[in-house]
Amino acid sequence: MPSETLAPVLKSVVVNAPRAQVFKIFTEFFGGWWPSTHHIGKQPYETAILEGKVGGRWYERATDGTECEWGSVLVWEPPAKLVLSWHLQPDWQYDPDPAKASEVEVRFIAESESSTRVELEHRNLERHGEGGAKLPEGVKDGWGTIMDIYGKFASEHAARSSSGDILTGTPVEGL
């Protein structure tokens, strides 16, 4: 493995909603906002799932029911933050070895009673070995797109829920 530490990838978005609601939308409706273009399975994508507990899985499910692991929940501290292990290697294949997994931390920071900044930090990329040096470039634009999609989804659904409409999306499974 390379001995030098790679700079983390940092992205953020502001959502006009209280912190607890923004955390809930991120985690409980993960499949409702995760982009179908960002999957690794060989079969057509159906949904992405984030199990809300330490040790919970982070994975995708295809239309035929097959699942592809992405990692697991390392830290679960609602509504402040969550940390996920990222087991996808530079070739976008899953490696179960925790020594080869980077981390994705998502922090939910109240800017006011009705506004929350969501900060994503993908760090420890050097753990992916020689190919890890390519990961920052490989994930930088992807995380930017994903955070933009999440921000729009969360803002839209926060506004709907404050007007009495029900959130849509795939609720968390496995709890």
> Which of 50, 60, 52, 57 is closest to 30 using CA atoms?
50
Contacts 24+ apart (CB under 8 A), 138-144: 138/90, 139/9, 140/9, 142/38, 143/9, 143/11, 144/11
What confidence score (pLDDT) does residue 69 get? 97
| Helix 135-162 and helix 19-28, axial crossing angle in degrees, nearest 10 | 120
Q: Return d(Cα 115, Cα 111) in angstroms, integer.
A: 5
Mean pLDDT of the chain: 91
| Dihedral pair phi/psi, residue 121, rounded to 5° | -130, 115
pTM, whole model, 2 decimals? Answer: 0.90
CA atoms within 13 A on the CB side of 124: 15
**CATH architecture of the domain formed by 9-36+71-162:** 2-Layer Sandwich (3.30)
pLDDT in tens, 95-152: 999 999 999 999 999 999 999 999 999 999 999 988 888 888 889 999 999 999 999 9
Q: Where are the domains of the chain?
A: 9-36+71-162
Query: Is 80 exceeded by the pLDDT of residue 2?
Result: no
pLDDT in tens, 60-101: 999 999 999 999 999 999 999 999 999 999 999 999 999 999
